[in-house]
Amino acid sequence: MIKKICFILNVALFSIGLFSCASESSSGKVKGTEYYSIQVSGLHGFINAKGDVMVEPKFDTASTVTSNGYAWVKEGSNEYFFNILSREKVEIPKGITIIPIAFNGFYLYLKDGREGIICSREGDFILKENEYFSLNAWLRGIVAGGVWFLEFDNERKFFTIKKGEKEFVQSPDDYSIFKASRRNIITTDGEGAYYLYERMKDKWEFLFETTREIYLPKDNRVLYYSSVEDEYGFLNMEGREAFSSRFYYAYSFAFESALVVDKKNREFFIDTNGEKILSLDDDFLYLQPTMNFLKNFTIVRKGDYYGVVRRNGEVLVEPYQDFIWRDITKEAVELFSVRNEKQTAWFNNEGEIVWKSDGFVLRK
């Protein structure tokens, strides 16, 4: 129970941390190339995946570079959406507060204590005033690949955004939608049965029925579930056990691996056959917050020091350095010095430094 509580706290703390760390550095992929935020002498700019400076540091704050090339920035009292390629500026409507969390060009905002979605390209609102939305729905929608939900009289309605307009996701059967992503839908009859569907061209194809509470698959063909015995296991897309092993806690597969916890509170990664592929010493702690399930990197900590390993077990940065992670993508990770936050560096997925600030050094 202690381990499970720690995982929940990790998720909660990371969700809160998004508000602070996203304004410090972030990244996004535009036309096949990732772009990262950098900070020099307190000002923010942007580089590409090769380390070339695309926008010289001039902003007081800069958030995520979205997939359409825009970032939320602040210069003095002015804030706007800025396209790092075209240098176009999009004014932000007055009376709202941008929360620097973005997905596919859309940002979360606050207005009169209510949360909504705004498009960074046009500055248009996606949700109406009376449509209740929450930070939890936004975070879950990012994990689900851009399918969010609204609350209507305690009923959830799932929607996605197409061409700047929301489009509700319709249930393929007579039951209510339990979870949804762009590729899969899980419905439930409310009496303990769950039904998994997958989108095939323009229709939903039924895959299987189960009495286990299942979770949406990510970027492969294995999904995990929780059983009545409070154990976690894995199913294939035909509803059969992928392998016999059960775990005290489990996360989704990504990059052909999943982080699990056994009944002795030991953390390790497994492959799609259930075989252990990465297990560090008991002195190490995995940092695997909810938003990083689809990342190829895992941050590990030993004492006060942090390092970076791939999910396949390859060590990129030994965990004896005096820095901590601040941003992480599928292709790169940013670390900054614990001693001096202005000393920061981006590492690519080969473990090479793409860009570093003046004075950044790796030391034991």
Nearest to 126 by CA among 164, 70, 95: 164
Share of the chain above pLDDT 70, in %: 75
Amino acid residing at 275? E
Are residues 275 and 295 part of one domain? no
What's the rounded mean pLDDT across residues 171-197? Answer: 92
Helix (H) or strand (E) holding 204: strand 203-210
Domain boundary among 48, 80, 101: 101
CB 222 within 8 A of CB 272: yes
Q: What pLDDT does residue 180 have?
A: 92
Domain range enclosing 310: 287-364
Q: How many C-beta atoms surround the C-beta of residue 273 within 10 A? A: 11
Are residues 3 and 89 part of one domain? yes
Mean pLDDT, rounded, of the chain: 77
For residue 290, the 8-state DSSP code is G
Provide CB contacts within 8 A for 183, sequence distance 6+. 145, 198, 199, 217
What's the rounded mean pLDDT across residues 67-88? Answer: 90
CA 355 to chain centroid, in Å, comes to 23
Tokens 């900590």 locate to 301
For residue 151 the two structure tokens come to 């609350």
Quick: pLDDT tens for 82-107.
998 899 999 998 889 998 878 888 88
Are residues 82 and 64 part of one domain? yes
Domain boundary among 237, 254, 279: 279
Whether residue 337 is contained in a domain is answered as yes
Whether residue 236 is contained in a domain is answered as yes
Are residues 87 and 32 part of one domain? yes
Give the long-range contacts of residues 353-359, CB within 8 A, separation 24 or more: 354/36, 354/47, 354/49, 354/50, 354/51, 355/36, 355/38, 355/47, 355/51, 357/38, 357/39, 357/40, 358/40
For residue 203 the two structure tokens come to 């229709």
What's the rounded mean pLDDT across residues 136-155? Answer: 82
Whether residue 161 is contained in a domain is answered as no
End-to-end CA distance of the chain: give it in Å, rounded: 35
For residue 177 the two structure tokens come to 């939608």
For residue 26 the two structure tokens come to 């972030």
Whether residue 179 is contained in a domain is answered as no
Domain boundary among 55, 78, 101: 101
CA distance 168 to 150: 10
CA distance 346 to 339: 17
pLDDT band at 217 (very low <50, low <70, confident <90, very high): confident
Are residues 297 and 250 part of one domain? no
Are residues 328 and 244 part of one domain? no
Backbone angles phi, psi at 143, to 5 degrees: -65, -35
Query: What is the total count of domains within the chain?
Result: 3
Whether residue 164 is contained in a domain is answered as no
Higher pLDDT, 90 or 135: 90
Whether residue 199 is contained in a domain is answered as no
Provide CB contacts within 8 A for 137, sequence distance 6+. 148, 149, 150
What's the rounded mean pLDDT across residues 108-135? Answer: 84
CA distance 328 to 344: 13
